[in-house]
Amino acid sequence: MPIVGFYSKNSTVELQIEWEKRLRVHLPSLKLVPLLSKDAEQATSALLWNSPLEILNKLKNLKGLISLGQGVDHILKNNLIPKNLPIVRIVDPYMAKSMSHWVILSILNFVRDAYGYYEQEKNKQYKSRKELNFLSLKIGIYGVGAIGSVVAKDLHNLGFAVEGWSRTKKEIEGVKSYYGENSIEKLIKNCDIHVCLLPLTPLTTNIFNTSTFAKMKRGSCFINAGRGDQVVENDLIEKCKSGHISSAILDVYRDEPLPKNHKFWQQSNIRIWPHVAAETNPETAAKQIANAINCIEIGKLPPNTIDRNLGY
């Protein structure tokens, strides 16, 4: 019987029950236990989101860890996990489509000035507003992997000109792709709308800063659903204040939940979302997580095991 430790920061007991129900469809004998309970001492794997990492080194039966999301930076931080312990991430088509929907929503709100219309509605103003010509816009997707490639394709299919950047070469129909550190500036300088979907690694930490924003076209839109630590927040605020960045739509932050006294709340052209762009769905992700648990149990490397050297 696989015993799996479970921890999801700020979650409820109901969420653990939901996961156990979904996972048992594929692994009927599975037992999901709270990571911080005594029962977790027998766990051979753990299903985690933003867990206290110190506890993991005390669980001597652990053979592998599974992230409850696409990102694994919450597990890799501070290098507390032994190198021989495999770490698995979720790669779920449902999550990719959810992210695509959110990015499309954010872009269309910008292009059609939806927030301007919302303000007019409050004041009972009935008049048209300036609409950007979507044919003249270039959208840059930073990170065209399992999720970013879906976003790029969907935007292309909507008639947008899309460019993508990744660490290694990618070929996506209808999307102009760049790769490697030396080519990222082409995307920064070419595009009008910038969408960050990058994993958090030492190379991507603080990648969007004063220097980066200054190279973007004046009036650019910046969208971040990657990780908060990829943005130097005060630099973004200053560029939004000056109008160099005309609109920023954010779903992730350095501190989450976003503190009530954070300056982002005070900046009218920064839009706040509470890290919901692509939430993990137990119904669609359960099968692959159950398979990962089973692989860990029998000593087989699960699909979507990360490369520690790359950080994803």
| pLDDT (tens digit per residue) in 79-110 | 899 998 999 999 999 999 999 999 999 999 99
One domain for residues 121 and 252: yes
In DSSP terms, which residues pair with 138 in a beta bridge?
161
pLDDT at 11 over 90: no
pTM of the model: 0.93
One domain for residues 134 and 182: yes
**Total count of domains within the chain:** 2
Closest C-alpha among 102, 92, 36 to residue 67: 92
In a domain, 200, yes or no: yes
In a domain, 303, yes or no: no
One domain for residues 63 and 78: yes
Active site residue 275: yes
Closest C-alpha among 66, 124, 114, 108 to residue 91: 66
Strand residues in the chain grouped as ranges (E): 3-8, 31-34, 45-49, 64-67, 87-88, 138-142, 161-166, 175-179, 193-196, 220-224, 245-250, 270-272
One domain for residues 9 and 21: yes
DSSP 301: P
Length of the chain equals 312
One domain for residues 127 and 78: no
How many whole angstroms separate alpha carbon 191 and alpha carbon 138?
5
In a domain, 306, yes or no: no
One domain for residues 46 and 57: yes
In a domain, 312, yes or no: no
How many whole angstroms separate alpha carbon 245 and alpha carbon 214?
9
In a domain, 152, yes or no: yes
What tokens appear for 145 in the block? 């992997």
| CATH code of the domain containing 10 | 3.40.50.720
Q: pLDDT tens across 181-204, in order?
A: 899 999 999 999 999 999 999 999
One domain for residues 205 and 101: yes
- Three-state SS at 269: coil
How many whole angstroms separate alpha carbon 184 and alpha carbon 32?
43
Domain that holds residue 286: 3-92+280-297
How many whole angstroms separate alpha carbon 173 and alpha carbon 187?
17
In a domain, 10, yes or no: yes
One domain for residues 128 and 27: no
One domain for residues 243 and 97: yes
One domain for residues 108 and 161: yes
Q: In angstroms, how far is the first alpha carbon of the chain from the final one?
A: 29
Q: Which residue has the higher pLDDT, 115 or 1?
A: 115
User: Which of 26, 227, 271, 308 is an active site residue?
Assistant: 227
User: Which of 112, 244, 262, 275 is an active site residue?
Assistant: 275
In a domain, 309, yes or no: no
Across the range 275-289, mean pLDDT stands at 96
Q: How far is CA 90 from CA 14, 181, 282, in A?
A: 21, 26, 11
Active site residue 227: yes
Asked whether 65 and 88 are in contact (CB, 8 A), the reply is: yes
One domain for residues 195 and 267: yes
How many whole angstroms separate alpha carbon 90 and alpha carbon 23?
14
Percentage of the chain beyond pLDDT 70 is: 100
Q: pLDDT tens across 199-223, in order?
A: 999 999 999 999 999 999 999 999 9
**pLDDT-based confidence at 310, cuts 50/70/90?**
confident
One domain for residues 204 and 250: yes
**pLDDT-based confidence at 309, cuts 50/70/90?**
confident
In a domain, 148, yes or no: yes
pLDDT at 311 over 90: no
Q: pLDDT tens across 230-276, in order?
A: 999 999 999 999 999 999 999 999 999 999 999 999 999 999 999 99
